[in-house]
Structure formats: C-alpha cells, structure tokens
Amino acid sequence: MQKSLKTSISKRFALASRVAIALIGTSITLSAAFEAQAAYSKPVAQTPAVPNATLPDGVYLYGQVPKANELGKGYFVFENKAGKVVGALYMPSSSFDCAAGEFKADQLALMVTDSYDRTANPFEIALDRTSTVASNGNPSLRLGLQGFHKLNAVSKNDLRLLNVCKVDHQQAQK
C-alpha cells in the first residue's frame, strides 16, 4: 500500500475513530475497518473513465461483512446515477464521512470529505467483475466492490446518512 494513501486514510478516519471508540467502547476504528479495502486501491489519475462500466442507477449498501449494522464493521451506502456516486462511509453507532466520485475502468474513485475538518481525501475501491451469462445467451457483467459484500436491505438510517451526504455534495457543487 502506498504510504501517502495509508496516511490519508488514517487522517481521514482518525477523528471518526475517536468518536467510534467513545460511542461503542471498543478499540476497533473506522480507519482499520476500511484499511483492507485500500489495499486494492490504485491512483485515480492512471485510470480513464469508462462509460457504462457501472452499476445500474439506484441506492446500494455494501459492508465489510454480509450482515447489516454490525458494530465495529465498516459500511458504504451510496446512490449511483449514470456512473456518478454520492454516499456515506460509516460504522454503526459512530460518525460518518461523505464521499463522491465515479466509476472508472477498474475502480470506484472517490473523494471522501471528513465530517469534522471538511478536508477531502482520495479513496479508491477496486471493482469486482464477475462474468455471467444472461438467459438470452448474451454475456452480461455483474459488478461489485472488492472487499465488500452487497447487502440487500437499505435501512432508514442508511437513507438518512445518504440524504445528508447528497445535500452536502449539492452545496459543495454550488
């Protein structure tokens, strides 16, 4: 892992980690929760955008574990619209950071905004592409996020976090 990426991830989640420790009384931090996913990362500038290499438009929830709302585990709820993503990285009963970005050829390239000091740091998640065959015989592509499990149930709290980040992103675009 690149030292600068590891440093930015640690900085990005350091404040959230302190809150998580205070709220849930554990030494598991958001930084440690997402550090494994960063191992799949590649620099954003090296990968050109690829049209239609994305998930269908909609709201998604991914977690480090296949079960929702597990304390000490990291989750990413986001909305995808035409390859553009806005969402929240969080741990249950902790703070969260907003993220926005886009799908690239082999990764989801994000800028994560620290909820406390408002600094933005790059964060990339490699794409997991699994070829499947559609019923009509044409090959289709199933796309996921490496190191994350897709969860089917998006909770009211997930939607609340997502809406906060969508408003924050819209205000930042003005």
Burial of 137 (0-12, 13-18, 19+ CB in 10 A): exposed
- Give the contacts of 148 (CB within 8 A, at least 6 positions apart): 37, 62, 63, 64, 76, 125
Dump pLDDT digits (tens) for 92-103. 999 999 999 999
Backbone angles phi, psi at 39, to 5 degrees: -65, -25
Position 34 confidence tier, pLDDT thresholds 50, 70, 90: low
- Is the backbone of residue 156 left (phi > 0), alpha (psi -120 to 50) or beta? alpha
Q: What is the pTM of this model?
A: 0.69
